[in-house]
Amino acid sequence: MGKALPRSPLAPAGFPELPEVRGLELGVAEAGTRYRGRLDAMLAVLPEGSAVAGVLTRSATASSDVLGCREVLARGGTGRAAILVSAGNANAFTGKAGDGSVAAIRTGVAGAAGVPEARVLTSATGVIGEPLPHDRILAVLDRLAAGGASWEDAANAIRTTDTFPKGAGGRVGGAALAGIAKGSGMIAPDMATMLAYVFTDAAIRADRLQAMLARQAARTFNRITVDSDTSTSDTLLLAATGMAGPVDEAAFEEALHGVLLDLAHQIVRDGEGATKFVTVRVTGAETEGDAERVARAIADSPLVKTAIAGEDPNWGRVVMAVGKSGARADRDRLAIRFGDVLVASDGWVHPGYREEDAAAHMKGREVTIHVNLGLGRAEATVWTCDLTHGYIDINADYRS
């Protein structure tokens, strides 16, 4: 299972204070599917009138749990619902046995929590290709259904090798909004998995909840990258109990954006081996798609990420990444900044550029790369971390 990893140097000071979401019951337990002596299962039970929205991995080899979530979400509607998450075994690439585990858990949760089977969502994260011993989860269902868990317990129960629990929340009018996430630690032979669960007691119709979540996931979770690899199990769910009544939906969506972005940034801050939190901002693009393509090419480039690890203001590698992105770009209109330092403009190094200024910015924990393509008004931002020996240690040298 690998050695315990030290807490990320980019971790926040502590777990945040999160508001109570009316009608939501959180339960946690030690199921022991893989880990021993720690919380590894979480159950969220949602009351009558609840709506659930979700964004799931686009992987063609998605896990049985993801396939199950897709079915539940496709049905839509409101009513009692439950979300069960277990950590330690991903139940991915386990063939028909994986589908069977999901079915068994859904039946069990439906009975224990008084929820229709067709409204039970499940997630699993951890080792891949091993059968999920789901009897161990069934054995702790009563404890999970008893509720009473804190947000921090719930965030801890869904961790795999995350080095800190992740939570974020806020208020919109009289309604509360709070969520937890896990990622992107890893245990060989596992793959990183991003899971996030956000709850509100605002009353919002299921179809509008889904539309908001899709829009805001695209601008938050879908704009982070640690190593460009996509998990078979990525799951983001948003549930609304409705018990605080209607809210201003524009204000709600803005608050939702803030919570999703906060959780997404925490995942980057726990990226494997990360020592720098990197913001890649691209402006002056012809379209937002082009801006995102360039930002992602920079944020995914191993050469850019190793240069950041080495605290090297290597703008040549940024030019390279712009060029390979597939977006429209013009060498002679590019401007590149590290932090506030203008490095390159008009197709060449800026006349006033002094490498020591950019090098000073690169020494900080927070690095910003800003590329202005000089072609239009569209922009996009992608967040990532550096690529260090720690990444190789975690993924090559540690064995389960």
Residue among 367, 379, 327, 325 at smallest CA distance from 343: 367
Q: Minimum distance between the CB of residue 34 and its own copies, rounded to whole angstroms?
A: 14
- Interface residue with its own copies among 25, 40, 201, 227 (CB under 8 A) is 227
Whether the bond between 184 and the residue before it is cis, its omega within 30 degrees of 0, is: yes
User: Among 161, 152, 175, 179, which Cα is nearest to 236's?
Assistant: 179
Q: Does 33 bind its own copies (CB under 8 A)?
A: no
- Residue 96 interacting with its own copies (CB under 8 A): yes
Work out which of 157, 309, 362, 380 binds its own copies, going by CB under 8 A: 309
Residue 236 is given by DSSP the state: E
Work out how close the CB of 176 gets to its own copies at its nearest, in angstroms, rounded to a whole number.
35
Decide: is 102 part of the binding site for its own copies (CB under 8 A). no
Q: Is residue 289 a contact point for its own copies (CB under 8 A)?
A: no
Whether the CA torsion 102, 104, 105, 107 is positive or negative: it is positive
Site for its own copies (CB under 8 A): which residue of 178, 191, 209, 259? 191
Q: Is 363 annotated as a binding residue?
A: no
Q: Which of 33, 94, 163, 193 is catalytic?
A: 193
Whole-angstrom distance, CA of residue 149 vs CA of residue 28: 6
Known catalytic membership, residue 193: yes
CA distance 395 to 398: 6
Closest CA to 298 of 230, 250, 370, 205: 370
Residue 160 labeled ligand binder? yes
Q: Is 135 in the site for its own copies (CB under 8 A)?
A: no
**Count of beta carbons in the 10 Å neighbourhood of residue 128:** 21
Residue of 13, 74, 332, 363 that binds its own copies (CB under 8 A): 332
Candidate list 1, 73, 303, 360; residue touching its own copies; CB under 8 A:
303
Question: What is residue 86's three-state secondary structure?
Answer: strand
Q: What is the DSSP letter of 117?
A: G
DSSP bridge partners of 195: 182, 235
Binding residue per annotation — 78?
no
Residue carrying structure tokens 């506030």:
340
Size of the site for its own copies (CB under 8 A): 70
Quick check: 322 binds its own copies (CB under 8 A)? Answer: yes
| Residue 13 in the binding site for its own copies (CB under 8 A) | no
- The answer to whether residues 106 and 96 touch, using CB atoms and an 8 Å cutoff, is no
- Tell me the binding residues for substrate: 160, 182, 193, 272, 395, 400
Q: Footprint of its own copies on this chain (CB under 8 A)?
A: 57-62, 92-97, 127-129, 186, 188-192, 227-232, 300-303, 306-307, 309-310, 312, 314-317, 319-332, 334, 344, 346-349, 387-389, 391-392, 395-399
> Which residues carry out catalysis?
193
